[in-house]
Amino acid sequence: MRTLLLLLTLSGTAAGAQTYNPTERYVIAGQDEPGYRAWYLASPVNPIRVAGLHHYITHYGAGWVLPTWQIIRTASDWRKCNDAAFEVPPTSEWPHIVQTLRFVRDEVIPAVGPVEAVSAYRNARLNECAGGAPGSAHRGFYALDLVPLNETTREQLMRTMCAVHQRRGEAYSTGLGFYPFLRFHVDSRGFRRWLPAGEEASCDPLGEQPHAPEPVEAVVK
């Protein structure tokens, strides 16, 4: 019974999700919520690891920003790479995701509405197979790839997130990047931004001036 209650608690759907579902192009069967439940029950160590991560991020003030099961999604190419759809990172990497989740909570969600995490930690083998850079922020559990759940356009998403990043990204040491369609990347490994070739104009922050960054409490390691 305790296992079932924990399963239901940690796999709750993000608040505000609507029938409009832009994640269909990014999440295949096996890395969806039923796939998570199957993975969770497949090994007695999986519930223990999920609970440990959940309690850790909650202790450091970043719990419930996103469902815990979403932040253990691996690469979208997990099946092609014959790897796991979900993986709890080593405990040494857990501090890194806390600051990323704070940025999502404090800046991303207020600006674009609810989001779903479609990729987070990737082990070295999966990262290489999926075409990630050797030094990818996903390797150290700094990064989340997100998709907005409210209907929007790519141009509007880019303008909004670039304005947020210009105002507040430095304070959170945030990296921001964009993939095709509505998928975008945030991490807490350093203040920087990258855009697809030829899309610089789509990231014009509408003339807003950057504000001086405010101090943000450091993550306790």
Beta strands in the chain (DSSP E): 115-119, 143-148, 175-178, 184-187, 192-194
- Residues 36, 87: Cα–Cα separation, whole Å: 10
The pairing of beta strand 175-178 with beta strand 143-148:
unpaired
Are residues 172 and 188 in contact, defined by beta-carbon separation less than 8 angstroms? Answer: yes
Measured CA to CA in angstroms, residue 110 lies from 30, 31, 73, 102, 122 at distances of 30, 27, 23, 12, 27
Here the tokens at position 67 are 């469902």
Longest Cα–Cα distance of the chain, Å, equals: 55
C-alpha distances out from residue 57 to 94, 96, 100, 116, Å: 8, 10, 11, 17
Structure tokens at 70: 């979403």
pLDDT at residue 207 in the model: 39
Q: Is the pTM of this model over 0.75?
A: yes
Per-residue pLDDT 10s for the chain (221 aa) are 444 445 444 544 444 444 667 788 889 899 999 999 999 999 999 999 999 999 999 999 999 999 999 999 999 999 999 999 999 999 999 999 999 999 999 999 999 999 999 999 999 999 999 988 888 999 999 999 999 999 999 999 999 999 999 999 999 999 999 998 999 999 999 999 998 877 776 776 543 333 333 444 444 43
For the chain, give percent helix, strand, coil, nearest 5: 40, 10, 50
Could you tell me which of 187, 170, 216 has the C-alpha nearest to residue 60?
A: 216
Per-residue DSSP letter, 184: E
According to the model, what pLDDT value does residue 10 have? 53
How buried is residue 133: exposed, middle or buried, by Cβ count under 10 Å (0-12/13-18/19+)? exposed
| Nearest-angstrom CA–CA distance, 197 and 185 | 16
State the CB neighbour count (10 A cutoff) for residue 69.
23
